[in-house]
Amino acid sequence: MSPRTPGAGAGKWSERFAGATSELMFQFNSSLSYDQRLAAHELRASIAHARMLGRQGIIPKKDAAKIVAGLRLLERLRAAGRLRLDVPEEDIHTLVEKELTRRIGAAGKKLHTARSRNDQVNAVTRLWLRDAIDAQQRLILLLRRALLRQAQAHAATVMPGYTHLQVAQPTTLGHHLHAYDCMLARDAARLADCRRRVNVLPLGAAALAGTGFAIDPRMVAKELGFDSIFANSMDAVADRDYAIEYAHCAAQLLLHLSRLGEEIVIWASQPFGFVRVADAFSTGSSIMPQKRNPDAAELLRGKAGRALGALQALMTMVKGQPLTYNKDNQEDKEALFDSAATAASCLQVAAPMVASLEFDAGRMRAAAEQGYAAATELADALVRKGVSFRSAHARVARLVRLAESRGLALAELPAAEARRATGLTAAELRAALTIDRVLAGRRSPGSPQPKQVARAAARELRRVEKLLAA
Ligand code: ARG
Full domain range(s) for residue 107? 20-113
Question: Is the pLDDT reported for residue 236 higher than 80?
Answer: yes
User: Is residue 164 flagged as an active site residue?
Assistant: yes
User: Which of the four pLDDT bands, split at 50, 70 and 90, describes residue 247?
Assistant: very high
DSSP string covering 112-180: TTT--HHHHHHHHHHHHHHHHHHHHHHHHHHHHHHHHHHHHHTTT-EEEEEETTEEEEEEEHHHHHHHH
Q: Are residues 376 and 358 in the same domain?
A: no
| Set 22, 33, 285, 388: catalytic member | 285
Q: Provide the pLDDT for residue 6.
A: 62
Q: What is the pLDDT of residue 7?
A: 58
Residue type, 301: R
Q: Which atom of ligand 1 is nearest to the CA of 90?
A: 1
Q: Residue 155: its pLDDT value, please?
A: 98
Q: What is the DSSP letter of 283?
A: B
Q: What's the pLDDT score for residue 288?
A: 85
| pLDDT (0 to 100) of residue 10 | 65
For residue 405, tell me if it sits in a domain: yes
Q: What is the CATH number of the domain that holds 424?
A: 1.10.40.30
Residue 3 pLDDT exceeds 50: no
What pLDDT does residue 370 have? 84
- 8 Å CB contact between 360 and 276: yes
Tens of pLDDT, residue by residue over 414-462, are 989 889 988 889 888 888 889 999 999 999 999 999 999 999 999 999 9
Residue 31 alpha carbon, nearest atom of ligand 1: 1
Beta bridge partners of 161: 169
Look at 148 and 6; give whichever has higher pLDDT. Answer: 148
* Average pLDDT of span 241-262: 98
Please indicate, yes or no, whether residues 103 and 124 belong to a single structural domain of this protein: no
Tell me the mean pLDDT in the region 74-97.
96
Q: Are residues 291 and 239 in the same domain?
A: yes
Residue 4 has pLDDT above 90, yes or no: no
Residues 128 and 217 in one domain: yes
pLDDT at position 464, please?
A: 98
**What per-residue confidence (pLDDT) applies to 2?**
39
Q: Is residue 281 part of a domain?
A: yes
Q: pLDDT grade, residue 291 (50/70/90)? A: confident
Cβ < 6 A, ligand 1 pocket: 31, 91, 117-118, 121, 325, 327, 329-330
Whether residue 392 sits in one domain with residue 360: no
Query: How large a percentage of the chain has pLDDT more than 70?
Result: 98
Residues 212 and 345 in one domain: yes
The residue whose CA has the least distance to atom 4 of ligand 1 is: 330
Is the residue at 11 inside a domain? no
Closest CA to 310 of 294, 288, 332: 332
Q: What is the 3-state secondary structure (H, E, C) of 16-65?
A: CCCCCCCHHHHHHHCCHHHHHHHHHHHHHHHHHHHHHHHHCCCCCHHHHH
Last residue within a domain, chosen from 329, 347, 366 = 366
Mean pLDDT for 207-235 is: 98
Q: Which of 6-15, 324-333, 387-396, 403-412 has the lowest mean pLDDT?
A: 6-15
Residue 7 in domain = no
CATH number of residue 94's parent domain: 1.10.275.10
Q: Known catalytic residue: 285?
A: yes
